Structure 1
Amino acid sequence: MEPTEVAVDSSLSKRAVSNTIAMLVSRVGIAAMGWLGTILIARSLSSDDFGKFSFVFGVLGMMAVVTDLGVGRVVLARLVGDDEDQIARVAASFVWLRLALGLIGYAVALAVVVVTGHDGDVIAATAIAGLVVVIATPSHALTVIFQSRLRLGLVAAGEVAAQGVQLLLTIAAVLFAPLLLVLVIPAIANELVSLGVKARALLRGADGPAPRGGIDGALWREMLIEAVPLSIGLAFVEVTAKVDVLLLGRMDTFDAVGLYSIGFKFSDFIGVACVAVVTPFTTLLVASWPGDHAGFRHAARRAAAIISALCAVGVAALYPVADDLLRFLYGDRFAVAAQSTRLLVIAASMGALAHLGIMILVAVGSHRVYPWLTLTSLCLNIGLNLWLIPRASYLGSSWAMVVSEAFLLVAVIVLVAVSLPVKRVLSAVHPLRATAVAATVITFTMMTPGVEDSPWPVRAILGGAGTLVVLHLCGGTDGFSIRAQVGRLRDRRSMSEG
């Protein structure tokens, strides 16, 4: 019996890693296309209009407070069960609930910009772009269904195609109608394509029963009760990530909002890498708890190693060349945001590891304390912003983000250590080793004669590739490598042909 269980666990682990690769490749591609779209928009709009564009999507991002039920244990645990009829009913009810939350989020976003007294352009742009929230919220529910089956390859492909559609429409808008109210429309098309791809696959019964059934009030109540602490905690995390944009919009200028938001385009790469790792590994954590403590620990520590390595590579590649890169991509007027961008990428790296810790707590159902930690982090962030924005504008907001994310990371690690019956689930070794390697490589690229004055693409490649190689050689990637994954694919193909 035990050998069979080990084989199943090994298979699940390999599928989780394969899903991670698919999601990581797609998320990087999506972020790159989104980045290019933002460059085109920033270059085609005035500073004030680009600030309004950034502000509108910043407000919509905050609507996760209302719309994000989170991958609650009650939902994911039922979706990984064996009762196909129950899976179909739970999936359908979850989608309906997310749609209702999306409509509420849309109404709240409109209310925010109206009540806070913004001008007609901002209100109109929010009314149009807010449809993204209505569509994306149930679409994410479909992603959770695929996640429960560890079949995220189709999701990855569909989201890349959707982002490609958005980029093409953005290029067309920039060429023929470079107006604020027109440039928010491509994001809606993106969500429609993504939703269509996932819905079509699920309705055809791809890799499991298709969602069927209507609204189940009792199940909604159970989902919401289970999700209350999770949703509140994640809501505070989302608000912490976006509230500085709102505060800058009220306490400073829209030009400052635009300069600050540029940094988020780089930190988004860290965020998408984190999601690509955490999403499949969360399924693995839920499936292994509480019966397989060793498997649970292995999945958590491997996810931490991969996230730490990816964050270190990103920071080491960007830090030495931020000024040159911003000037090259966005123009000279955005180069002043280089230090802010560096700080936001560092903050996002700490936030990525904190997010993994939160998902570990979710997987074991021990997530009723951490909302207090995220609330404290949010209050710290707001207090620092209120003090720093008048003194340092958007750079002050960047420092506020670094401090609040550092507090949250330490707090979550401590909570995981003291609240779980399994010891050594998260180790400080992986992030500390990754930080030390990244800092060493950054120092080398910025201070070594002959390297510091080399072309910025060379320094960026040296920073990222050098960090990855050193981490891999000293075991910082926990055995994860592209070469290993290619080998697994070849073995699988050989077995199939045999």
Structure 2
Amino acid sequence: MSVLPPENIAKNTTYLTVALVVQKILSFFFFLFIARTLGNEGTGEYVAAFSLASIFGVFIDLGLGQVLIRELARRREKSADYLSNILTIKLFLSMVVFAALLSVIYVLQWFGQGHPPLSLVILAGAVMIIDSFALTATSIFRGWQNLWFESVVIVLNKIFILSLGVILLYFWPSSFIVALSILIGSIMSILILFYFIKWRLHLSWRLRLTRDIVIELKRLALPFALANIFAAVYAYSDSVLLSILQGNQAVGLYSVAAKTMNAFQFIPSAFMAAVFPAMSSYYRNTPQKLGQLLEQSLRYLLIISAPLAVGLFILADEFVMSLGTDYQSAALAVRILMPSLIFVFLSFPLGSLLNASNHQHWQTALIGFSMAVNVGLNLVLIPRFSYFGASWSWFATNVVALMIGFWLARRVIDYQFWPFCVSLGKVILSVGLMAWFTIMTRPLLPLVPVVLFSGLIYLIILLILRELTFVDIKYFVNLFRKPTVADAVLPPLTEV
């Protein structure tokens, strides 16, 4: 097993973090362009088709990507054997899953239920297959501890799709064109990855099945497969159920709110990617510091998420109207979902704690339970309240998941909850004054100055209350400058 020096680990983390941030930003702006160009019906068709394909796509990979990363990090010499067997397995699974995906559409059509157009599902299914093979390629690079190639492909893929999609949609606006642009981008990505693996790693793409390796992969992938299935159903079932029970127009209206909330999840994801090595180290060596690190992580993510949630809550009408009058009724869905942003942000440190402390099975169980709650609430609420019901379902599920996450965290470490409550009070006061300023000045000033001044007021109040200090800011910056355990030295806890 090869171990990278700290400076290379830092570079790897920086490469991937920057790439994922760029990917999320470009994806969100492309979605806004799609929503504005196609209206709620066309946007709903696109979202429903790719949501359905994403759920089925997890049955192609079945956790093999994570197994590949872990095993190649330990035994790089097994790369060729694992690659050839996984490619063969995925080729077979792709045909089975693609047939199952199309069968679902025909069954829904037979029973007269709503569904995305078949042509769109075919393109989304093709993207699903190609992306699964691309995942195998990126998993190899991660296993070899070289994230530069993956990072380059991520950025190139999004730039290409955005550029091609905008041009094609300008002349031929349709959800089919969106799917076609994504498919072409996926083909480009997989070709680049194939070339990198052949040129850089000198691995062949030969198909082969070895009985012992297949049995080993099956055993290793099962826990990952279960977690991935739970996560995929949890993330995409709301859009799929909306399409079936209420139609694609409801999906389009709901997706504006859901995509907006999801667009910000790269923030806690990047933050916890920087903190996770320290969590793992502290759990093994200095458990008392682990509790402090959890408290600080919760505090920082609360400080970041609160103004985002409140600001979008207040400006929901203006936001949805900027996409067109088709989305006017989506403002309420935005207001229902935006408070969930805080709960989602706070769940990241708790999930990372469970993973860092070798309690992954608890995290998997929590995701599975959350999935069951979300699907159950959707089945009850969507028929009565359409996309508003899906919004309330997501909100309630995230509240429940966060409460359970706190309870599980207390079973791992004995952390202090009172400092977080004090921080919560100060953040509520700060964001409340920010909200008052936003509401009072919005009729008088353009949107951009209002947002900038509101954010500045929030920051100043936090500094006055000593909920945020310049030491905190320096610590936060250092996490991403050198994301190693050594840099995760805790700043002093805020005086209360």
TM-score (norm 1): 0.78
Please tell me whether residue 338 in structure 1 is matched to residue 334 in structure 2. no
Please give the residue correspondences for 1:408-419 in structure 2 after superposition, counting only pairs within 5 Å. 408-418=401-411
Please tell me whether residue 264 in structure 1 is matched to residue 274 in structure 2. no
How far did 1:243 drift?
A: 1.6
- Deviation track 1:324-369 (CA, whole Å, cap 9, x = no partner) reads 12222x1233133223224434435534554554455455653334
How far did 1:188 drift?
A: 1.0
For 1:35, the equivalent position in structure 2 comes to: 28
For 1:124, the equivalent position in structure 2 comes to: 119
- Deviation track 1:298-334 (CA, whole Å, cap 9, x = no partner) reads 9974876765555446435533322212222x12331
Please tell me whether residue 145 in structure 1 is matched to residue 140 in structure 2. yes
Alignment CA distance shift 1:457-1:150 (3 Å) = farther
How far did 1:189 drift?
A: 1.9
Structure 2: which 5+ runs fail to align? 485-496
Alignment CA distance shift 1:321-1:67 (3 Å) = farther
Please give the residue correspondences for 1:299-314 in structure 2 after superposition, counting only pairs within 5 Å. 301=294, 310-312=304-306, 314=308
For residues 238 and 434 of structure 2, the distance between their equivalents in structure 1, rounded to whole angstroms, comes to 32
Query: Secondary structure at 2:173's aligned position in 1?
Result: coil
Q: In structure 1, what residue type is equivalent to 2:170?
A: L
Q: In structure 2, what residue type is equivalent to 1:338?
A: A
* Aligned match for 1:324, one of 318, 328, 339: 318
Q: In structure 2, what residue type is equivalent to 1:204?
A: W
* Aligned match for 2:131, one of 133, 136, 139: 136
Please give the residue correspondences for 1:102-251 in structure 2 after superposition, counting only pairs within 5 Å. 102-117=94-109, 122-205=117-200, 210=203, 214-251=208-245
Please tell me whether residue 380 in structure 1 is matched to residue 376 in structure 2. no
For residues 427 and 211 of structure 1, the distance between their equivalents in structure 2, rounded to whole angstroms, comes to 53
Q: Does structure 1 retain, via aligned residues, the 8 Å contact 2:283–2:356? A: no
Please give the residue correspondences for 1:457-468 in structure 2 after superposition, counting only pairs within 5 Å. 457-463=448-454
Q: Does structure 1 retain, via aligned residues, the 8 Å contact 2:280–2:357? A: no
How far did 1:185 drift?
A: 0.5
Alignment CA distance shift 1:427-1:401 (3 Å) = farther
Instruction: Name the % identity.
Output: 19
How far did 1:163 drift?
A: 1.0
Q: Does structure 2 retain, via aligned residues, the 8 Å contact 1:158–1:193? A: no
The 10-residue stretch of structure 1 (449-458 or 399-408) with the greater mean CA deviation from structure 2 = 449-458
For residues 433 and 30 of structure 2, the distance between their equivalents in structure 1, rounded to whole angstroms, comes to 33
* Aligned match for 1:393, one of 379, 386, 404: 386
Q: Does structure 1 retain, via aligned residues, the 8 Å contact 2:434–2:455? A: no
For residues 217 and 417 of structure 2, the distance between their equivalents in structure 1, rounded to whole angstroms, comes to 34
Q: In structure 1, what residue type is equivalent to 2:165?
A: T
Q: Does structure 2 retain, via aligned residues, the 8 Å contact 1:290–1:364? A: yes
Q: Does structure 1 retain, via aligned residues, the 8 Å contact 2:40–2:326? A: no
- Deviation track 1:144-165 (CA, whole Å, cap 9, x = no partner) reads 3333455334322321211111
Please give the residue correspondences for 1:46-125 in structure 2 after superposition, counting only pairs within 5 Å. 47-70=40-63, 74-81=67-74, 83-90=75-82, 93-94=85-86, 97-98=89-90, 100-117=92-109, 122-125=117-120
How far did 1:99 drift?
A: 5.2
For residues 14 and 298 of structure 2, the distance between their equivalents in structure 1, rounded to whole angstroms, comes to 15
- Deviation track 1:366-417 (CA, whole Å, cap 9, x = no partner) reads 3334444333322322232233224432122111101112222332343344
For residues 158 and 231 of structure 1, the distance between their equivalents in structure 2, rounded to whole angstroms, comes to 25
For residues 46 and 324 of structure 1, the distance between their equivalents in structure 2, rounded to whole angstroms, comes to 16
Q: In structure 2, what residue type is equivalent to 1:43?
A: R
Q: In structure 1, what residue type is equivalent to 2:106?
A: V
Please tell me whether residue 23 in structure 1 is matched to residue 36 in structure 2. no
Alignment CA distance shift 1:416-1:197 (3 Å) = farther
For residues 303 and 8 of structure 2, the distance between their equivalents in structure 1, rounded to whole angstroms, comes to 20
Q: How many residues align?
A: 470
For 1:485, the equivalent position in structure 2 comes to: 481
For 2:493, the equivalent position in structure 1 comes to: none
For residues 153 and 465 of structure 1, the distance between their equivalents in structure 2, rounded to whole angstroms, comes to 36
For residues 316 and 391 of structure 1, the distance between their equivalents in structure 2, rounded to whole angstroms, comes to 27
How far did 1:98 drift?
A: 5.0
Alignment CA distance shift 1:215-1:401 (3 Å) = same
For residues 129 and 379 of structure 2, the distance between their equivalents in structure 1, rounded to whole angstroms, comes to 32
* Aligned match for 2:469, one of 473, 477, 481: 473
Q: In structure 1, what residue type is equivalent to 2:477?
A: S
Q: Does structure 2 retain, via aligned residues, the 8 Å contact 1:285–1:360? A: no
Q: Does structure 1 retain, via aligned residues, the 8 Å contact 2:311–2:435? A: no
